Amino acid sequence: MSPRIIICDDVFVNARLIEDVLRDTGYSNLVAFLNPTEVVKAVYGGDIPELVITDFSMPEIDGVSLLCTLSTMVSELSGIIVSAEADSVLKKSRDYPVIDKSDPCFVEVLLNHVESSLKGCLQ
């Protein structure tokens, strides 16, 4: 079974891009949210992901706070932060990988991080 991946980005186009890239690569157990509060509600309600890919800068909850909140609910949670301001986010990322959305190799870098984050889930 494909690992559960939750995507959260308050910009629809960004969330859709990540979702499409992952689906095209063979990941099928995906759901995208535009609101981090909805992600917390979904996980609290039993939608347990192996990986959360989140934007950093969002209304209500930033990506690091979202991942920290979710990690108290899910013991084996991996997270990836995507941001157009990757350099400034690195200082706040708490060991979560940060990927620059404006990097020309964004898709390749994202897929490498997804694969390495899910290594234990795919075996």
* 16-62 pLDDT, tens digit each: 999 999 999 999 999 999 999 999 999 999 999 999 999 999 988 99
Portion of the chain with pLDDT greater than 70, in percent: 89
Residue 122 has pLDDT above 60, yes or no: no
* 93 domain residue, yes or no: yes
* 123 domain residue, yes or no: no
* 50 domain residue, yes or no: yes
For the chain, report the end-to-end CA distance as a whole number of angstroms. Answer: 11
Domain that holds residue 57: 5-117
Q: Model-level pTM?
A: 0.92
* 122 domain residue, yes or no: no
* 21 domain residue, yes or no: yes
Portion of the chain with pLDDT greater than 90, in percent: 72
- Identify which has the larger pLDDT, 85 or 122: 85
* 15 domain residue, yes or no: yes
The continuous run of DSSP H or E covering 95 comes out as none
Assigned token pair, 44 = 């609290």
- Total number of domains in the chain: 1
Q: What is the CATH number of the domain that holds 35?
A: 3.40.50.2300
* 87 domain residue, yes or no: yes
* 11 domain residue, yes or no: yes
Assigned token pair, 108 = 């390749």
Cβ atoms within 10 Å of 117's Cβ, excluding its own: 21
